[in-house]
Amino acid sequence: MNTLQEKIHQEINTLPLTSQKEVLDFVLFLKNTLNTESDSDYLSKDPKIKQAIIDGLNTPLDECSDRLDW
């Protein structure tokens, strides 16, 4: 049975060169995002922001406004 890497290689080789470039760009994008902190991780580090999000999620919809205050 082929390994995942072999299957990926086989599929990419069937693509036109311009599409292969797009695949490469996407792979490089994925590698870059692996080393980047997610928005959720960043926000959850601040206890005040974390509590504000939790409070907002626990607020019943009938208590929410349909207008922004900012």
pLDDT at res. 40 = 85
The answer to whether the pTM exceeds 0.85 is: no
Predicted confidence (pLDDT) at residue 1 exceeds the cutoff of 60: no
Condensed to tens digits (0 to 9), the pLDDT of residues 56-65 reads 999 999 988 8
The Cα-based distances of 52 to 1, 16, 19, 43, 57 in angstroms read 51, 49, 44, 10, 9
- The tokens describing 8, both together, are 């990926």
Condensed to tens digits (0 to 9), the pLDDT of residues 20-37 reads 999 999 999 999 888 788
